[in-house]
A and B are shown apart, each in its own frame.
Chain A
Amino acid sequence: MTQELAIDVRGLVKRFGSKTAVNGVDIQMPRGQVWGFLGPNGSGKTTTIRMICGLLKLTDGEGECLGFDIRKDASLIKAQTGYMTQKFSFWTDLTIRENLEFVARLYRLKNASRVVDETLDGLSLSKRQHQLAGALSGGWKQRLALAAVSMHHPKLLLLDEPTAGVDPQARRDFWDEIHRLSSNGITVLVSTHYMDEAERCDRIVYLANGKKVAEGTVAQIIDMSGLITFRGEGENVRHLAPQLEHAPGIDHVAYFASALHVSGSDRSAIRHALDQLNDDGADWKEVRPSLEDTFIELKARAGDDTRQHA
């Protein structure tokens, strides 16, 4: 059973003092897939990833990563995992080549210098290999980091917001690389805030307040949320937003160029609110909620949830 799962963790809890960062998270992730790890800032993504690769002790819970106990076999897990930290954590005062060589040596790769040459080639960084890593732009730093953490042919990649603050072209290149690695059989868990990236994943795990509040494919998550969205189009539809934002039954309103999305979980309540509007310039239709609408709804619900329990 565990052999088919790259990650199999149950009831992960992590407390820092009185603060509970992760509160009972289960993840069962099969090998060879690409999963997205989503959730608002501070929801516990980084902490969960750190526990999975043995960088943080668990307060509670148990599990295996690549078949090894995450509480006892951290060193075995590390040898077969590549972990890319949220903040660039290579040595800015070493050159690109020196960074790669250091990593290659720590993993005791055979023919380290040839592997580094190939990696530099693959990154098209051969010409700049003697520049300091700190001098690279954000996008290049992230590509260097990905190359560095996959140089030892790990079975699992844990990527923590690898594309934050990177331009669209660089993000696309980065994801092409993720899919190339995945097609070689590597399992990838990647945390992100970008919807388009979430849609590139086989499956999504969504955290809020340290708890897993949704898991599934994009379509499943939208369906499961039970969210109802109406789209209104028209010249002056935007001026209606202030009225709608506080109307009963409407959880949130999202602006688009000449359209509004209003969402909630009760269809007739939304219809009622829309009927109350004394403006006939807008044309309202029910549409399929976007992933973004769904996440905003999930986050709001999780917020309500904790407020009740607090």
Chain B
Amino acid sequence: MTTLARILAIIMKEAVQMRRDRMTFGMMLVLPVMQLILFGYAINTDPHSLPTAIQMEEDTPITRSIISGLEVSGYYAIVERTQSDMESDSMLARGDVSFVVTIPKGFTKRLLRGETPQLLIEADASDPSASSNAISRAQVIVQRALAHELYKLNGDPQTAPPLFELVIHPKYNPAAVTQYNIVPGLLGVILTMTMVMMTSLAMTRETEQGTMENLLAMPARPIEVMLGKISPYVIVGAVQTLVVLAAAIWVFKVPFLGSFWVLSLGVVIFVIANLAVGFSFSTFARSQMQAMQMTFFFFLPSLLLSGFMFPFRGMPNWAQMIGEILPLTHFLRIVRGTMLKGADLHQLQPDINAMLLFTLFMGAVAMVRYRQTLD
């Protein structure tokens, strides 16, 4: 009897406190909704509409029907037509397209003569789960397209389907080792989590313990406080990077094809971007608890929409748009690009730029929000 009364009393007290803490309350409602949306819609285990470049070296009704067959299947979205191998290679390296389909010159003639011509599909296999379904369907898709086209030509449904050879070139990760894709990505995930959390906690701790008043009473400018607070963590981030890279290379045997310096540049910008996020959060959070919650609020979409968990090109458009804003998305391209594809600075420039833009914006938010008074 008494116990029940006591339990009720505690429940009521908790309910009142929960209602007063708007922030936690909001988080409790928004987080599950966010997760539902992200897991329910963004996640696609059978990615469709993967961006594809066509390198068509001859234009005949047959080749056109192959292309429309690919497109109608829903797996391939033809976004580019390229002329040269060099152009296709660089689009694949940048991650602009997931596939390059090459129809060589003389394909139609050799097909009709029964000489079994080759059709080449180069795939970005750095994320095996993204491309595997599309690849495995390719044979059937092309066969059907050809059968249909030949039926139109000679009107005889009994004609045996023409022979051709589909050559698949999985590039960057030919053995489809999932760790090759995940381990470098993990570097970005770990950095996001720790950098954002540590800065936002370091700042809110000052507020919570009352030392902020002392700090504000002394003549330090906001930019000084910000840089002073952030810099030590850049070093922490560098150490984390070295540890993860060492593990990737020596434990998981992930290849490192590109330039260490390009990757380092990416790491530095990425770390600063995340620190700016943490600092901005600390200007909103009233307690360390709130800072933690905000960190998760940022971490979750980063994890789900950056291409770490799920193939980026397989996500719906709106999810890709959000993903393009997040620094982790661009960092993943940089780290996978340098390690697995040997991408160079020029090819990764758009991702570097996107992270810089994000950093500038977050830095501005932090500066505007940082209060020099206790109000």
Measured CB to CB, the residues of A under 8 A from B are 50, 53-57, 74-75, 78-79, 81, 83, 85, 87-92, 103, 106-107
Contact = CB atoms under 8 A, between A and B. Distances in A.
B5 interface: no
Nearest to A88: B210
B372 interface: yes
A55 B373 CA distance: 5
Interface stretch (B178-186, B213-221, B248-256): B213-221
Contacts of B372: 74
Contacts of B220: 106
B219 A50 contact: no
Nearest to A82: B217
A81 B374 CA distance: 17
Given A74-B372, A103-B218, 12 more contacts: A50-B374, A55-B213, A56-B375, A57-B375, A78-B219, A79-B219, A89-B213, A90-B211, A90-B214, A92-B209, A106-B219, A106-B220
Q: Could you say which of B209, B210, B217, B374 has the most chain A C-beta atoms within 10 Å of its C-beta?
A: B217
A288 to B, nearest CB: 40
A129 B12 CA distance: 48
B211 A55 contact: no
A55 B218 contact: no
Contacts of B217: 53, 55, 78, 81, 83, 85
- 10 closest A-B pairs by beta carbon, nearest first, are A89-B214, A83-B217, A78-B219, A106-B218, A79-B219, A89-B210, A87-B210, A89-B211, A85-B213, A55-B374
A85 B375 contact: no
Nearest to A76: B219
B219 A107 contact: yes
Q: Is the interface of A mostly helix, strand, loop or mixed?
A: loop
Contacts of B373: 54-57, 74
B299 to A, nearest CB: 27
Contacts of B213: 55, 85, 89
Interface in B345-375: 372-375
Contacts of A81: 217
B219 to A, nearest CB: 5
15 contacts: A53-B217, A55-B217, A55-B373, A74-B373, A75-B219, A78-B218, A81-B217, A85-B210, A85-B213, A87-B210, A89-B211, A89-B214, A90-B214, A91-B211, A107-B219
Q: Could you say which of A53, A54, A106 has the most chain B C-beta atoms within 10 Å of its C-beta?
A: A106
B367 to A, nearest CB: 16
Contacts of A50: 374
A74 B216 CA distance: 10
A87 B31 CA distance: 36
Contacts of A92: 209
Contacts of B375: 56-57
Contacts of A56: 373-375
Contacts of A75: 219, 221
Contacts of B214: 85, 89-90
Nearest to A103: B218
A149 to B, nearest CB: 8
Nearest to A89: B214
B232 to A, nearest CB: 14
Contacts of A57: 373, 375
A112 to B, nearest CB: 14
A81 B218 CA distance: 9
Contacts of A87: 210
B198 to A, nearest CB: 15
Interface in B204-234: 209-211, 213-214, 216-221
Interface string B69-96: 0000000000000000000000000000
B45 to A, nearest CB: 48
A54 B216 CA distance: 9
Contacts of B209: 89, 92
A90 B211 CA distance: 6
Contacts of A78: 217-219
B369 to A, nearest CB: 15
A107 B218 contact: yes
